[in-house]
C-alpha cells in the first residue's frame, strides 16, 4: 500500500513537472504575430490566428504611454504569450532613457556631453544610435528597461540588433571581441531575468544567427548562448532585396543552414517576411513549412496584425514603390473619403479588404485623368473592426489601415 501511494505521488510529480516544462518552453508554439505600430490590445486578444505575439512595451514607444499590467493581462488571458520588443544594440531617441543633450544639434554625431558608450546615428534609421553594448552603463539602462517589461507582465523579450556586434568588429572596428561580448551580454540578461522572475522568462534574439560561428565564440560561449535563449526571430531569409515588400524569391542558403543548427538545439525559428503578393505568400508558406520555421507575413513597418492584403500578380509585377493617399476621417463610424492625386492618366483600382485579406468592396476600377481624385466609402453595413484600403495605380500600390467604430 505504501509502495502504491509512493508510486502515485511520483507519477503526479512527473506529470506536474512535465506540464511545467511544457509551459516553460516555446516548442509547442506553431503561430505568431509581430506588430510594433498601431497596436490594439483588444484586437490582439480577439485574434485567434496566433499563439504568441511580439509587440512594443508602449503604444508609441514612450514611457508615458506604456501598456498597463491589466492591458497585457487581456492578451495573456486569451491564451497567448506576449513578448516585448527591446533593442539592445542601438539607443532610440524616443525612449525614456534618451537625453537630448547627447546630440543637441541632431546632426547624428554625439556631443561632448554624451556618454562614452554612445556611437553615431544609424544612417538608415533616423533616431537610432549605435551603442557599445559591453559598457556597464548601457547594460544598466537595458536592465532598468527590462524591469519595466517584467512589471507589465510580459512573458519575455525580443532582442533586436544582436547583429550589431558585426558593426563594432568590421564596419567600425573598435572592439575585436564584440562577438563574444554580445554573447556575454545576453547571458547576463538571462541571469538578470532569472533573478527577477519565476518560471521561464523567454529571451528571443532577432537575427544575428552567425554569432555562433564567430572567431571569439568558442565552445563555452556557444553553449552559453544557446542556454541563454529560447528561440530566434529572423527576417528576410527567403525574400531578401532592396524593396520594403515583395522582393523576389532569393533564399539565403548560408543563413538557412545556420538556422537549422538552432532547430537542432531545440530553439524554434520565428520567421517574418514582408510580402503582399499572393504568389510570394504561397511560396513562403511552403518554404517555411519545409524548413520547420514558424512563419509570419507582414509589411515592413509592422503596423498590421496578420497576413497583409494580397494583390493580383499582374497588377504589381513591376511594383516600384508605395502610393501616398489620404483617408479622412479615420477612425470613422459610417463614411470616409479616400483622396489621391495622379501625376498622369492612369488605370486606378481602389479596393477594401478585411483583416483576413478578403476583398469586400471595389470602390474604383477605371482609367482616371491626371489631377486630384476622391472616392467615398460607406461602411454602414460593416462591423466594428480593422479593415484595409488598397490603391493600385498602373504598376504601383499602396495599403492603409482604416478603423470602423460603431
DSSP secondary structure letters along 70-96: HHHHHHHTTT-EEEEEEESSEEETTST
Q: Could you tell me the pLDDT band of residue 356, with boundaries at 50, 70 and 90?
A: low
Cβ proximity of 249 and 238 under 8 Å: yes
* Percent with pLDDT over 90 in the chain: 71
pLDDT value at residue 24: 64
Residue 178 to residue 193: CA distance in whole angstroms: 22
**Phi, psi of 330, rounded to the nearest 5 degrees:** -165, 115
CA end-to-end span of the chain, whole Å?
65
Average of per-residue pLDDT across 282-291: 91
Q: Please state whether beta strands 359-368 and 346-354 pair in parallel, antiparallel, or not at all (unpaired).
A: antiparallel
Beta bridge partners of 58: 66
Give the confidence band of 399 by pLDDT, cuts at 50, 70, 90: confident
CATH topology for 22-89+133-298 is TIM Barrel (3.20.20)
Distance CA 271, CA 296 (A): 6
The candidate with the shortest Cα–Cα distance to 392, out of 312, 327, 328, is 312
Q: How far is CA 42 from CA 149, 246, 358, 385, in A?
A: 19, 29, 21, 10
* Residue-wise DSSP of 330-347: SSBSSEEEEEEEESS-EE
| CA 368 – CA 343 distance, rounded (Å) | 11
- Report CA 121 to chain centroid distance, whole Å: 21
Q: Of 280-289, 361-370, 392-401, where does mean pLDDT reach its minimum?
A: 392-401
Cell numbers at 330, concatenated:
479615420
Confidence of residue 314 (pLDDT cuts 50, 70, 90): very low
pLDDT at 318 exceeding the cut of 60: no
370-380 tens-digit pLDDT: 999 999 999 98
Q: Starting at the edge strand that comes first in sequence, how are the strands of the sheet with 128-131 ordered?
A: 90-92, 128-131, 118-121
**Percent of the residues in the chain that have a pLDDT greater than 70, as a whole number:** 89
Superfamily in which the 313-404 domain is placed by CATH: Macroglobulin (MG2) domain (2.60.40.1930)
The answer to whether the pTM exceeds 0.85 is no
What does the pLDDT average to over 177-193? 98
Question: Hey, where are the domains in the chain?
Answer: 22-89+133-298, 313-404
Amino acid at each position: 500500500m505504501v509502495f502504491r501511494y509512493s508510486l502515485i505521488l511520483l507519477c503526479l510529480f512527473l506529470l506536474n513537472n512535465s506540464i511545467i516544462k511544457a509551459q516553460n518552453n516555446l516548442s509547442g508554439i506553431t503561430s505568431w504575430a509581430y506588430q510594433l505600430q498601431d497596436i490594439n490590445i483588444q484586437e490582439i486578444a480577439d485574434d485567434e490566428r496566433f499563439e504568441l505575439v511580439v509587440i512594443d512595451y508602449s503604444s508609441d514607444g514612450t514611457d508615458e504611454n506604456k501598456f498597463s499590467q491589466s492591458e497585457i493581462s487581456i492578451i495573456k488571458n486569451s491564451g497567448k504569450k506576449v513578448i516585448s520588443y527591446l533593442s539592445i544594440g542601438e539607443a532610440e531617441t524616443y525612449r525614456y532613457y534618451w537625453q537630448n543633450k547627447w546630440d543637441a544639434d541632431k546632426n547624428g554625431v554625439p556631443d561632448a556631453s554624451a556618454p562614452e558608450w554612445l556611437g553615431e546615428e544609424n544612417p538608415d534609421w533616423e533616431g537610432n544610435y549605435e551603442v557599445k553594448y559591453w559598457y556597464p552603463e548601457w547594460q544598466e539602462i537595458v536592465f532598468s528597461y527590462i524591469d519595466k517589461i517584467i512589471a507589465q507582465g510580459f512573458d519575455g523579450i525580443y532582442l533586436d540588433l544582436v547583429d550589431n556586434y558585426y558593426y563594432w568588429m568590421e564596419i567600425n572596428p573598435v572592439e575585436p571581441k564584440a562577438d563574444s561580448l554580445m554573447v556575454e551580454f545576453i547571458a547576463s540578461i538571462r541571469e538578470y531575468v532569472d533573478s527577477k522572475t519565476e518560471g521561464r522568462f523567454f529571451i528571443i534574439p532577432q537575427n544575428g544567427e552567425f554569432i555562433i560561428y564567430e572567431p571569439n565564440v568558442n565552445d563555452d560561449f556557444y553553449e552559453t548562448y544557446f542556454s541563454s535563449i529560447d528561440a530566434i526571430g529572423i527576417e528576410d531569409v527567403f525574400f531578401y532585396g532592396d524593396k520594403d515588400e515583395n522582393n523576389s524569391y532569393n533564399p539565403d542558403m548560408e543563413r538557412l543552414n545556420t538556422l537549422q543548427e538552432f532547430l537542432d538545439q531545440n530553439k524554434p525559428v520565428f520567421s517574418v517576411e514582408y510580402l503582399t503578393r499572393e504568389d510570394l505568400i504561397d511560396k513562403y508558406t511552403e518554404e517555411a513549412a519545409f524548413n520547420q520555421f514558424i512563419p509570419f507575413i507582414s509589411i515592413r513597418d509592422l503596423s498590421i496584425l496578420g497576413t497583409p492584403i494580397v494583390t493580383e500578380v499582374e497588377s504589381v509585377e513591376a511594383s516600384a514603390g508605395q502610393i501616398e493617399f489620404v483617408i479622412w476621417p479615420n477612425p470613422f463610424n459610417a463614411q470616409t473619403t479616400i483622396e489621391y492625386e495622379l501625376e498622369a492618366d492612369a488605370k486606378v483600382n481602389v479596393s477594401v479588404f478585411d483583416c483576413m485579406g478578403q476583398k469586400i468592396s471595389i470602390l474604383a476600377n477605371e482609367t482616371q485623368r491626371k489631377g486630384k481624385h476622391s472616392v467615398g466609402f460607406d461602411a454602414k453595413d460593416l462591423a466594428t473592426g480593422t479593415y484595409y484600403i488598397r490603391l493600385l495605380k498602373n504598376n504601383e500600390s499602396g495599403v492603409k489601415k482604416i478603423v470602423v467604430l460603431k
